Structure 1
Amino acid sequence: MSVDHVDEAGSSEGESVAAAAVAAEALHYYPVAPGVRLNVRRGPGTQYGIVRVLPEGAKVPIFCQTPGTTVSGPYGTSNIWDNIDDGEFVADAYVLTGSDGYVASRCS
């Protein structure tokens, strides 16, 4: 008889690994427009400070999306901003999502 290791929270190691695998599969990475070094900002607009610059060929996760400054880019003109990390946003007009609208839930 085998027994899974149980952590302090009471869940088994097998359950934790399975939950992480499901979460990783659900998270999709989208490519930034070719040849673009994309500014990552502290908020959903060009008035927010730049946190970092993504290199050419980057792919980004989209955790949620929110309206902000309207930006024109390779994939159209949009006011949608993608939250790619805690407090980090990029203009959706530079991200190939395959849609002119929202592809993730709205940020709260």
Structure 2
Amino acid sequence: MAVEHAAETADGDEELSATASGMLRYYSIAPGVRLNVRSGPGTGYRIVRVLPEGSKVAIFCQMPGTTVTGPYGTSNLWDNIDDGEFVSDAYVNTGSDGYVASRCA
């Protein structure tokens, strides 16, 4: 599985990037994982790309969808990482079992 528009610092720390609405936080995907990026919040949506190992993603909003079990537990949360692009939160190291961004409209 994979994520695009990922940013990573040389030492592997989270990177903050300025956006029009303020600071944007980037989160690491699970180590050793190539993460599928889907067109919607669930495994039934088509794969639009694959993020390479070591990717980081910005989460613009989150919403419930298909329940997935991954390295960071079992979750039905899906992270919107770009326009029409979602990844399962179970593969993203947010440090939380809940929402870390607003709900998608």
Query: TM-score, with normalisation over the residues of structure 2?
Result: 0.81
Structure 1 letter corresponding to 2:26: Y
Larger radius of gyration: 1
Supply the distance in 2 between the matched residues of 1:40 and 1:79 (Cα, whole angstroms). Answer: 15
* Aligned-residue RMSD, C-alpha: 1.6
Counting only pairs closer than 5 Å after superposition, residues 78-93 of structure 1 correspond to structure 2 as 78-93=75-90
> What displacement does 1:81 show?
0.1
- Are the counterparts in 1 of residues 18 and 24 from structure 2 also a CA contact under 8 Å? no
**What is the aligned-residue identity percentage?**
79
Aligned to 2:90, the other structure's residue is in SS state: helix
Structure 1 stretches of 5 or more lacking a match?
A: 1-19
Structure 2 letter corresponding to 1:50: I
Name the one with the larger strand percent: 2
Higher relative CO (Cα under 8 Å, sequence separation at least 6) belongs to 2
Which aligned segments of 4 or more residues in structure 1 are displaced greater than 6 angstroms? none
Query: TM-score, with normalisation over the residues of structure 1?
Result: 0.78
Structure 2 stretches of 5 or more lacking a match?
A: 1-16
